[in-house]
């Protein structure tokens, strides 16, 4: 099915690896003009060359002023304003995943908010005016299942993602009748390269394929296995992102699309 993405100008943040790379690859496959974003120029340029991207934009979105430079570099590479913005960049403070909320210092809550919400908010601030002026824009903010079903530990990350969800809903409500949509994409456990490496190390077998790692992690319940019976694949998340970003989608906005295999125990 042709989603109508050919020629669309797209920025995917955090796309030099993992979920972001899979999203960028799918958009490129659909004929979109894609800019790869990351913190390491060499790695970003390698991905850009592999998928035939329009260029790269480099910057740490958690740092003050970096969103503006990333936006400027992306617009220059695309040869025009951003029409599709996929805010995927972010991350978790791994040292806090086993800490209860009160044991996590306030500074870590601030750092996580900057990494997982503020950069996306700033890129929206920079990109939305052009989208509104041209009456064409699609925003997809990548969140997490823990924003809706937080763990007892690692509250700094889940709180930041919950803030991103709330911002997205408010943004969508403000964009009335201008053909600009804003939605959330919430993954559960996704089998990114880092998780594959973890599985190979845990099972002591470097020859395991990603599918074999997925099967063994699920069979041995290394992590809580969702009702789907396995963990997600980056491309499965990318396919939903493409649907939400398509010009064919003008009526889905302010929504949270869970791609979690049924991990969250509840309805949105």
Per DSSP, the three-state class of 185 is: strand
Domains in the chain with CATH codes: 9-190+235-257 (3.40.50.720), 191-231 (no CATH)
Q: Can you give the pLDDT at residue 267? A: 74
Q: Can you give the pLDDT at residue 258? A: 95
Per DSSP, the three-state class of 55 is: strand
Query: Which pLDDT band, with edges at 50, 70 and 90, does 67 fall under?
Result: very high
Catalytic positions are 157
pLDDT tens-digit map of 159-215: 999 999 999 999 999 999 999 999 999 999 898 888 888 889 989 989 999 889 888
Q: Can you give the pLDDT at residue 83? A: 98
d(CA 9, CA 74): 9
Place of tokens 């490129």: 28
pLDDT tens-digit map of 142-156: 999 999 999 888 999
Query: Which pLDDT band, with edges at 50, 70 and 90, does 268 fall under?
Result: low
Say whether pLDDT at 222 is over 80: no
């Amino acid at each position: 099915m042709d989603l109508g993405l050919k020629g669309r100008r797209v920025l995917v943040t955090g796309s030099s690896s993992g979920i972001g790379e899979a999203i960028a690859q799918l958009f490129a496959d659909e004929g979109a003009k894609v800019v790869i974003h990351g913190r390491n120029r060499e790695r970003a340029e390698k991905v850009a060359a592999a998928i035939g991207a329009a260029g790269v934009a480099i910057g740490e979105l958690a740092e003050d002023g970096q969103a503006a430079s990333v936006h400027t570099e992306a617009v220059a590479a695309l040869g025009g304003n951003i029409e599709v913005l996929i805010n995927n960049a972010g991350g978790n403070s791994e040292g806090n995943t086993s800490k209860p909320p009160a044991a996590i210092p306030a500074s870590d809550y601030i750092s996580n908010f900057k990494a997982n919400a503020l950069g996306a908010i700033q890129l929206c601030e920079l990109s939305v005016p052009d989208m509104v002026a041209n009456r064409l824009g699609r925003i997809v903010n990548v969140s997490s299942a823990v924003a809706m079903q937080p763990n007892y530990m690692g509250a700094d990350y889940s709180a930041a993602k919950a803030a991103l969800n709330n911002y997205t809903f408010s943004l969508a409500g403000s964009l009335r009748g201008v053909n600009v949509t804003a939605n959330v994409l919430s993954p559960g456990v996704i089998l990114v390269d880092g998780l594959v490496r973890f599985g190979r190390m845990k099972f002591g077998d470097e020859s395991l394929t990603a599918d074999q790692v997925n099967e063994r992690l699920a069979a041995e319940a290394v992590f809580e296995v969702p009702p789907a019976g396995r963990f997600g694949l980056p491309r499965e998340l990318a396919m939903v992102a493409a649907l939400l970003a398509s010009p064919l989608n003008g009526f889905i906005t302010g929504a949270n699309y869970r791609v979690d295999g049924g991990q969250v125990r509840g309805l949105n």
